Chain A
């Protein structure tokens, strides 16, 4: 995995393929690599859909190896949704396969002058790119079926649906799962629109004939992997809670806490939660012959996903995740799992971010386009997006644009990106991360390892009044580093509670690359990434004024606790003081 594959879509005689060594990017992977390439090579003021923007697709440092749960793929670019730097990541098979094929990144550059739509095929023999206009406006599931017919079932795919082709700011990039279904998405920030702007519909990967990446120190690596896997399996969250109920196990708890945004963030509790909770979802999946426990890629030991069947027992979609169930459920006042699962499928098929679309439909409901709780109307609105009707074009560009088009103040966005499923008034520390993240409102930006395990910036007293500022900073640093490894963020809590599991992760990296990194080095990597991202955003025109929640979160109390967001602006400005 020491090659960067660059494809210049502006070539005079069609796309030009160039392979180069890692050069100054050596030692980087995942978010570290995507953000460094974007920060260094993309003019911050360029138009996100213009020829100067680049789309970087990079597996993590340990992807393609035997390391457990190392199959996350990062995608970076300048975001059409936020106007700032973006890294969005996904599970699925392609990270492992691309890494085994020897590529540390694919960089799509330039923009074709014609209207052709391209397909890229990569296998052990090399890279082919060809125009294939028969793929135009195919939804993801149909597209993958076509690729399967053409290339066999040993492939995996990275693709965009019609939303990406229409360059909508809520467009995602799909990654196929173990069953070769396009059910995993790098959803946030409109990265699918950037792939669409490059006229690339699909990247098909086939690693037949390639082998697993070998570590420099095999014995140490094997031992570290064993300890790491044991640590994940013995921890109650990664070993029991997640496999049994999936991420949606959070619904009941967040609702109980009054932090479950309901009806476009008007309330913090939804009375229909027990009908859409992870517990109920898992029961329904099992009852209908689906699966309540399933991995999104080979090598996952947590297996937090599942398979959702319809009322007739036929596959409808993968298990909708917590954020999706919330976005299309409680946030729109909908308590019907079948409708939510249908919208999850439609998002995946059209190639849309489920969080952005749920938030957008809720804004549309507040604007009077439908009633809260009307699942049929919500599905109809989503269909408009997939079909690209004039209304659909507005909705497909996200919650902020929709709110502006309909004169709605209550747009739950930061830097143009919709907030995920936690009300920042009830969980103020999450609000700090939403406000200050380089990515726009993003719960995963400050997600990983406990500050007091890494001791990033010294010991933090969580009971201190400003503990949430320090914690948010340190979580964001740690997350940036973890996002570079290819590891799923859900490893974070086994690491938090079990120092030996954290050490096993460091040992995995060290034995694989023959390094002698310490926790401090991991911290430095996280800081370096965040610094590059912040600098890019500053040059793109972002100031501290953009590190704020919308005003109404400071004014409108949310029930049941009747709290507002009270963290002061000057406190928010301290997050990146290190």
Chain B
């Protein structure tokens, strides 16, 4: 197993944005609600959930009530702040315009419809203001990303590496970026990092 510790300067945080937009994985439990996932597994405060997370998609379906929407295996949960325009309003939780998106809205499932509350992997995407609001929280909590996303992120750093990354510790050893890149490219077969 390879251990890697990258220290990114605050100014380079935006370089991580693509990873957060495209999605990362955390572990949760099947059968719990979106709110339970956010509070219990992601350790987010209810006030943040109620005031900052304005739009929620569960497997591409806009959700109106996060206390009813249930997490399943391979769920993709996308979270967004307030958005402009009529379309922004249409996709909000509890939108007055929800009829505009009727056929694609999340339909509540009966409680206890998922009997086995097993551990499952959930993909989370963060958009717009939530990248800044919640990005560091999730990074501190620890996330899983696909090796393809990680490689794309590292390649994207190439030209501006010195401005963004203050140190690389590969198996606890300070490593030069070129060497690190070569080693990283060998990690293609690794599914998660």
Contacts and interface: CB of A to CB of B under 8 A. Distances in A.
B124 interface: no
A464 interface: yes
B25 interface: no
A277 B131 CA distance: 13
Given A252-B127, A279-B131, A280-B21, A241 B84 contact: yes
Nearest to B13: A283
A447 to B, nearest CB: 5
Interface in B62-114: 62, 78, 80-91, 95-104
Contact of B84 (A242, A256, A286, A422): A242
Contacts of A241: 81-84, 88, 128-129
B89 A493 contact: yes
Interface of A: 235-238, 240-242, 244-245, 247, 249-250, 252-254, 256-259, 269, 274-275, 277-280, 283, 286-287, 304, 322, 422, 426-430, 443, 446-447, 450-452, 462-465, 467-468, 471, 475, 490, 492-493, 496, 560-561, 563, 566
Interface in B35-62: 54-55, 57, 60-62
B22 A274 contact: yes
Contact of A428 (B14, B82, B102): B102
Contacts of B129: 236, 240-241, 244
Contacts of A258: 60, 104
B125 interface: yes
B127 A561 contact: no
B33 interface: no
Interface residues of B, number: 39
B7 to A, nearest CB: 20
A279 B98 contact: no
Contacts of A475: 86
B120 to A, nearest CB: 20
B83 to A, nearest CB: 6
Contact of B21 (A274, A304, A451, A462): A274
Contacts of A304: 84
A429 B100 contact: yes
Contacts of B80: 252-253, 256
A195 B91 CA distance: 39
A277 B99 contact: no
A313 B42 CA distance: 40
Q: In the complex, which of the residues A240, A256, A428 has the most CB atoms of chain B within 10 Å of its own CB atom?
A: A256
B18 A447 contact: no
Given A237-B84, A250-B88, 19 more contacts: A235-B82, A236-B54, A242-B84, A250-B83, A253-B55, A253-B88, A254-B87, A257-B57, A258-B104, A259-B101, A259-B104, A269-B60, A277-B21, A277-B127, A427-B90, A427-B104, A447-B85, A450-B96, A561-B60
Contacts of A238: 84
Contacts of B90: 427, 429-430
Contacts of B99: 429, 462-465, 467-468, 471
Interface string B1-38: 00000000000001001100110000000000000000
Contacts of A560: 60
Contacts of A446: 86
B87 A249 contact: no
A471 B88 contact: no
Contacts of A254: 87
Nearest to B86: A447
A283 B104 contact: no
A490 B84 contact: yes
Contacts of B87: 250, 253-254, 259, 422, 427, 430, 443
Given A241-B82, A257-B57, A563 B104 contact: yes
